[in-house]
Amino acid sequence: MSKIETICIQGGYVPGNGEPRQIPIIQSTTFKYDTSEEMAKLFDLEKSGYFYTRLQNPTNDYVAAKICQLEGGSAAMLTSSGQAANFYAVFNIASCNDHVVACSTIYGGTFNLFSVTMKKMGIDFTFVRPDCTDEELAAAFRPNTKAVFGETIANPAGVVFDIERFARAAHAHGVPLIVDNTFATPINCRPFEWGADIVTHSTTKYMDGHGAGVGGAIVDSGKFDWTKYPDKFAGLCTPDESYHGVTYTQRFGLGGAFITKATAQLMRDFGAIQSPQNAYILNLGLESLAVRMERHCYNAQKMAEFLQSHSNVAWVRYCGLKGDKSYELGRKYLPNGSCGVLSFGVNGGRAAAEKLMKGLKVIAIETHVADARSCCLHPASSTHRQMNDEELLNAGVSPELIRLSVGIENIDDLIADVKQALDSLN
């Protein structure tokens, strides 16, 4: 079972004779045992099994196993949201007095998590532009740097991340590269194949794909050798006194150490679990992921080309367009297509953008993106509303910018909708 479309349908769960064909929803907080001795072995991580859903649940594990196979990883876990996934992925190896290098174009929620909340926890972040020089990138590292972080396709800037270059720099400094692969999905890019070590997802987006459930995932490649830097990654390479002295790299190997530690410590203490019900819904989304991504990319390419041809459109950003800043990186990392999200600007600034949005009938105004239903957002009058025009430009969001998430409806209907709204600006 090697092809990605097949893994989407059949990965992660193999029913035995007479067992349910579809992943069962184990909607139970706890699991029953005959003896305390047996349960003690689970608590000590001496035996694998289930005892409390805050730590592990079979439904979640089936779905995590599918995502793990899709990314080509060694182990994976689900989280309650993409925010929780990125927090865990970084906090699992960086703590107070540590430092992380992150790409400056990352999703605003992640930027805030890093630059405000995790900073309060004593972790420092240096943000580098995705197109910084190798010298600038090297200069961002410090002796206490623990990881590098970026997004395959930045939300919403659409910038494609040069995974290979950032992986090389991370490894030269003895730290792993963490890549948020939410927008590309493993259908269009598998960051591990380019040297990334940890992958995260907001499964809320394409993986779920139907705007039904907030969720996240973390996948480990199992390739980063923590034991080469036992002092830097002491949490993985020395005994965990809170878990009866288990040393994660020794007990679970490079393939299992990172995810086991994140489960045993971070899930235990923070509890950002996905509900089994949501994991089941996520799995339904995963089943059609490959087919949906193909249509998202087809529709978005057509939409980008249409927008480019309209006289009321000032500019379009989509890495599938020749001449786009990310076109070459897109061809390298996303040869089969990128995603359905693009951004564009209309002539006439903020007022024209607001008028255009009001005129749309098929495409809805939502904060959401990367979904079967087409939707759009005008950051200047919603998520970035508190900023004046000058502040917006500094944040890389021009007042006329519209983020358009192209869904899987018929493209003729979507283009007709945008066309009538654009025409009405005259």
Whole-angstrom distance, CA of residue 356 vs CA of residue 359: 5
In the three-class reduction of DSSP (H, G, I as helix; E, B as strand; rest coil), residue 172 is classed as helix
- Per CB under 6 A, does 155 bind ligand PLP? yes
Q: How far is the CB of 250 from ligand PLP (least distance, A)?
A: 33
Shortest CB 207 distance to ligand PLP, Å? 10
Closest to ligand PLP by CB, 179 or 290? 179
The interface region with ligand PLP, picked from 8-16, 32-40, 77-85, 186-194 by CB under 6 A, is 77-85
Closest contact distance (angstroms) between CB of 58 and ligand PLP is 23
Pairing of strands 145-151, 124-128: unpaired
Burial of 19 (0-12, 13-18, 19+ CB in 10 A): exposed
Q: What are phi and psi of 225, to 5 degrees?
A: -90, 90
Q: Of 161 and 233, which has the nearer Cβ to ligand PLP?
A: 161
Contact criterion met (CB below 8 Å) for 203 and 216 = yes
Structure-token pair, residue 30: 């706890």
Torsion of CA 21, 27, 28, 31, to 10 degrees: 10
Looking only at residues 178 through 217 of this chain, which bind ligand PLP when binding is defined by CB under 6 A?
A: 180, 182-183, 202, 204-205, 214, 216
Which CB, 83 or 326, lies closer to ligand PLP?
A: 83
371 contacts ligand PLP (rule: CB under 6 A): no
Minimum distance, C-beta of residue 339 to ligand PLP, in the bound complex (Å): 10
Residue 107 Cβ vs ligand PLP, minimum distance, rounded to whole Å: 4
The SS3 assignment for 308 reads helix
* Whole-angstrom distance, CA of residue 11 vs CA of residue 73: 13
Cα 6 to its chain centre, rounded Å, is: 22
Q: How far is the CB of 413 from ligand PLP (least distance, A)?
A: 25
Q: Total residues at the site for ligand PLP (CB under 6 A)?
A: 17
- In the complex with ligand PLP, the residue whose CB is nearer, 214 or 425, is 214
Of 106-114, 294-302, 322-330, 393-401, which part binds ligand PLP (CB under 6 A)?
106-114
Judged by beta carbon, residue 63 or residue 421, the one nearer ligand PLP is: 63
Piece in contact with ligand PLP (CB under 6 A), picked from 103-111, 114-122, 188-196, 291-299: 103-111
Q: Which 346-365 residues touch ligand PLP, going by CB under 6 A? A: none
Beta bridge partners of 62: none
Q: Give the bridge partners for 200, in sequence order.
A: 180, 218
40-48, 105-113, 184-192, 392-400 -> range binding ligand PLP (CB under 6 A): 105-113
For residue 80, the minimal CB distance to ligand PLP (Å) is: 8
Q: Is 81 in the site for ligand PLP (CB under 6 A)?
A: yes
Closest-by-Cβ residue to ligand PLP is 82
- Please give the full DSSP string across 58-107, using - where no structure is assigned: HHHHHHHHHHHHHHT-SEEEEESSHHHHHHHHHHTT--TT-EEEEETTS-
CB burial string 43-58: b at 16+ within 10 A, e below: eebeeeebebbbebbb
Categorise residue 134: left if φ over 0, alpha if ψ from -120 to 50, beta otherwise: alpha
The residue to which tokens 């010298």 are assigned: 135
Residues 260-279 that bind ligand PLP (CB under 6 A): none
Among 72, 109, 255, 349, binds ligand PLP (CB under 6 A): 109
Q: Which residues bind ligand PLP (CB under 6 A)?
A: 81-83, 86, 107, 109-110, 151, 155, 180, 182-183, 202, 204-205, 214, 216
